[in-house]
Structure 1
Amino acid sequence: MVVRDNFTFSELENWLNENRVTEIECLVPDLTGVARGKILPRVKFTEDRGMRLPEATVAMGVTGEFPEEGPYYDVISPNDMDMHLQADPSTVRIVPWATDPTAQVLHDCYDRNGKLVPFAPRSVLRRICGLFDAEGWDPVVAPELEFYLVARNTDPNQPLQPPIGRSGRAETSRQAYSIDAVNEFDPLFEDVYEYCEKMGLNVDTLIHEIGAGQMEINFFHAAPLGLADEVFFFKRTLREAAMRHGMFATFMAKPIAGEPGSAMHVHQSVVSKLTGKNIFSNPDGTPSKEFFWYIGGLQKHIPSAMAIFAPYVNSYRRLARNTAAPINIQWGTDNRTVGIRSPVAGPEARRIENRVIGADANPYVALAATLACGYLGIKNRIEPSAECKGDAYLGEYQLPRSLGEALDLLRADKELASVLGEEFVTVYTEVKEIEYSEFMTVISPWEREHLLLHV
């Protein structure tokens, strides 16, 4: 059963009755996209219609650590105060793999004064959508999410390997767009599609990508918040289904050395609330000034947003030359070598594709950031560079090469921070600094192999 927008709490109760739900997974996405929260009995959920969690629950790193001092505590109280979590009834979905009838509901985070917590991922995206709404615009997005299926791996010191398919063999060669290669994992994907149907996830096309065991799922275009919810739910669903079939699914940007990385390409356009028309096209069908300004905004601010689009040390292994990933912010029409692509489409479907974002990015803050870049482009009438008509892979690097560099750029971009929210940028960058510092304490096999006896 698909839940419609503006679902009320009374309608939610009816839905829970119809589906005989006995337990509720009360979820809130944190900065890494991890599902935090509590599991409540149906009665307890109905009585409270919400719950409380410490503020830091949504503001910790991927290892569960958070800063012990510094600007982080200018935003988050050192007293470990509670957030008040309010269920969003329109997000309720069944948990199709649960033994007992169980629902999952996303929650928004509020402070004690009833204001959205500014650093919670759903709050950030709500903020950006509000800016578009104030201009009389509806942003429309469509993510394309790549991922790898890999053999079960319980030892992090061992490299990941492609999984065994129906044939009893693992992939060893490039299988881009191969139908038979997808069919190797038919039992898994049958479950995935069944789960998605029961959850009302609007997934579209499934294809095999370039890498061994690498797939891509496309989502139908829709409003940003609902689609971010769907990406969040899909990641959770795919991981669960894969484990039930003896393998792992990973959204790491670069999980396997020598194989292409995984991206989350985001198509985006803007519709006028007044006319219902795509503002990227003029009445005669030609590209509008807003189309070019949006591209200009992406070009100016994408480098500053890379800590959001590429949030981990591993993310920058994907964004390297000769890896089938963009290394600059050139734009072009029907050109997959650029970071900002304009697909061939009719005037009503004219859109811009951000190809820089990694599959490891939090969908809420990634969509917020790419829309914020375009918003600033239109508002400030930023003209783009000349269109790239050649191979942009041969161009110069225009993106930060490391997480540390990316964090410095994000902190320095005051325009982008003012749109995303200064509190969010402060918390996000401080958390990422902790992750980066933790990584730098680890000595890699490459260092032991090449430096141990040679330097």
Structure 2
Amino acid sequence: MKDWLRKHPEVRTIRVAAADLNGQARGKRIPARFAENVVKNGTRFPFSVLNLDIWGEDIDDSPLVFEQGDQDGVLKPTERGFMPMPWLEAPTALLPIWMFRENGTPYEGDPRHALRAVVDRYKAKGLTPVCAMELEFFLIDDSGKSLQVPPSPRSGKRRKASETLSIRALDAFDTFFTDLYDACEAMDIPADTSTSETGLGQFEVNLMHCDDALRAADDAWLFKMLVKGLARRHGFAASFMAKPYPEYSGSGLHTHFSVLDAKGENIFDSGGPKGTAVLRHAVAGCLNAMHDSTLIFAPHANSYERLVPGKHAPTAISWGYENRTASIRIPAGSPSARRIEHRIAGGDVNPYLMLAAILGAALNGIEDAQEPAAPITGNAYAMEGLPQIPESWEAAIEAFDSSDTLSRFLPKELIRNYVLTKRQELHYLAELTPEEQVELYLDTV
């Protein structure tokens, strides 16, 4: 880490940042000449900082604040190390950090540690999850009273229609996407294919598969930070909020994953199109935990505007082969690449919690040899009798709080903190108009 700064003497300041439960970056600005001390000794801020609400306010009834004296945790650099922040004007480095207790044990309220604990369970069985993510987002001109697509830097025109897989739409913002890919290269974020999507000014960028789930979640977290920051530098906004426009489809964050054994072989690969029994067990685990963990996949009030039947976001708890109306899809292709696509999450999620919930649930299914219901064929939205995810934010909070399943893969302290956070947000969001809610979520998530 020290070598990176020596190779980049132009860097004047650093940011140290950890992800809170909402995926917000919380941390400090430090002059570069004091960076060595942070690398060696870490930094400190209260445990409660990783448990703030979406506005950045303390949780009123959190035991972390007054009851425990608002004690400090110790934050240490992750294995990611320093990286540039290309969306800022001055040369600046970001150092991702995560939280520990004074005695060196991981703080269980840190979402990155929650994912680490799930990955450790896989490692104990000689297994390695391989993950890839597809992140959708909107480019938005929010300078006026209503949101609209930004004018193209090339033509100056606004295309006020969805342009699915349109090369023209991509070319209209070529300068932005060129800078974005250059920045991903500088930050070592494995950005692959980009496409235009069905929403107004909506795009998707795929991140390449990675056999380190922590790094995959880091990539997604950093990518969201980069896209939002770089868009502002280009004169418009980028948002991963689930549903900025009522009349258009929302943004999802689809996750593909497979699992390798100690020999590096895909345990979902049967040599044919259906996959192994272990794949079915993992599918069953994901399905059985989906209702109770919806709050992670849809963490905000706006999230439930996206989860509407028939709007390209699955609402039924179901699975199928090559079926995008199901919440779990098994893609076609080479048997060696057989994998599970988890399709519930919106773009507004915390990637660490999302991966912990998906991989933790899948491992439960594998350990218990759970069997799913038969895979569906046809339109899941039109099928009667399929179990459904919670229809409202409030119902999702209650399901999350009362679940017996989640405690198998999420720490009790994190579950408690997350419920307290969401109940406080539920209370105060009720005081906002729909326009104020959009303004709140546009930049934060």
TM-score by length of 2: 0.92
The residue number in structure 2 matching 1:159 is 146
1: distance between equivalents of 2:434 and 2:237?
23
Q: Which residues of structure 1 form unaligned runs of 5+?
A: 1-11, 446-455
Matched, 1:351 2:345: no
Aligned mate of 2:51, from 59, 66, 79: 59
Aligned mate of 1:413, from 403, 414, 418: 403
RMSD: 1.9
State the SS of the aligned residue for 2:60. coil
The residue number in structure 2 matching 1:271 is 260
1:258–1:290 distance in 2 versus 1, CA, 3 Å: same
Does the CA-based 8 Å contact 2:64-2:71 persist in structure 1?
A: no
Aligned mate of 1:87, from 77, 81, 84: 77
Does the CA-based 8 Å contact 1:55-1:76 persist in structure 2?
A: no
The residue number in structure 2 matching 1:119 is 109
Aligned mate of 1:339, from 307, 311, 327: 327
2: distance between equivalents of 1:395 and 1:431?
35
The residue number in structure 1 matching 2:168 is 180
1: distance between equivalents of 2:242 and 2:175?
25
State the SS of the aligned residue for 1:367. helix
1:224–1:256 distance in 2 versus 1, CA, 3 Å: same
The residue number in structure 1 matching 2:19 is 29
Where in structure 2 are the equivalents of 1:163-242 lying within 5 Å? 163-165=150-152, 166-222=154-210, 223-242=212-231
AA aligned to 2:105 is K
1: distance between equivalents of 2:65 and 2:118?
20
Does the CA-based 8 Å contact 2:114-2:411 persist in structure 1?
A: yes
State the SS of the aligned residue for 1:83. strand
Does the CA-based 8 Å contact 1:19-1:101 persist in structure 2?
A: no
* 1:384-433 deviations in Å (ceiling 9; x for gaps): 11111111121356110111111111122222223111111111111011
State the SS of the aligned residue for 2:415. helix
Does the CA-based 8 Å contact 1:202-1:219 persist in structure 2?
A: yes
Does the CA-based 8 Å contact 2:193-2:205 persist in structure 1?
A: yes
Aligned mate of 2:412, from 401, 411, 422: 422
AA aligned to 2:3 is N
2: distance between equivalents of 1:328 and 1:99?
46
* Percent identity of paired positions between Structure 1 and Structure 2: 35
Does the CA-based 8 Å contact 2:361-2:409 persist in structure 1?
A: no
Does the CA-based 8 Å contact 1:58-1:120 persist in structure 2?
A: yes
* 1:241-264 deviations in Å (ceiling 9; x for gaps): 111221100000001110100000
1:230–1:77 distance in 2 versus 1, CA, 3 Å: farther
State the SS of the aligned residue for 2:63. helix
Does the CA-based 8 Å contact 2:64-2:70 persist in structure 1?
A: no
State the SS of the aligned residue for 1:175. coil
Matched, 1:262 2:251: yes
1:390–1:75 distance in 2 versus 1, CA, 3 Å: farther
2: distance between equivalents of 1:353 and 1:116?
30
Does the CA-based 8 Å contact 2:13-2:93 persist in structure 1?
A: yes
| TM-fit CA distance, 1:89 | 4.2
Aligned mate of 1:387, from 372, 375, 378: 375
1: distance between equivalents of 2:33 and 2:193?
39
2: distance between equivalents of 1:283 and 1:325?
30
State the SS of the aligned residue for 1:337. coil
2: distance between equivalents of 1:216 and 1:266?
13
| TM-fit CA distance, 1:110 | 0.3
State the SS of the aligned residue for 1:119. coil
* 1:94-126 deviations in Å (ceiling 9; x for gaps): 122444432111111001111111011111111
Q: Which residues of structure 2 form unaligned runs of 5+?
A: 436-445
Does the CA-based 8 Å contact 1:66-1:434 persist in structure 2?
A: no
2: distance between equivalents of 1:147 and 1:48?
34
AA aligned to 2:287 is Q
| TM-fit CA distance, 1:379 | 1.1
2: distance between equivalents of 1:43 and 1:74?
33
* 1:48-74 deviations in Å (ceiling 9; x for gaps): 4210011111111111223322xx417
The residue number in structure 1 matching 2:37 is 47
AA aligned to 2:33 is V
1: distance between equivalents of 2:273 and 2:317?
26
Aligned mate of 1:432, from 408, 413, 422: 422
1: distance between equivalents of 2:162 and 2:168?
12
* Stretch deviating more after TM superposition (60-69 or 283-292): 283-292
1: distance between equivalents of 2:257 and 2:238?
26
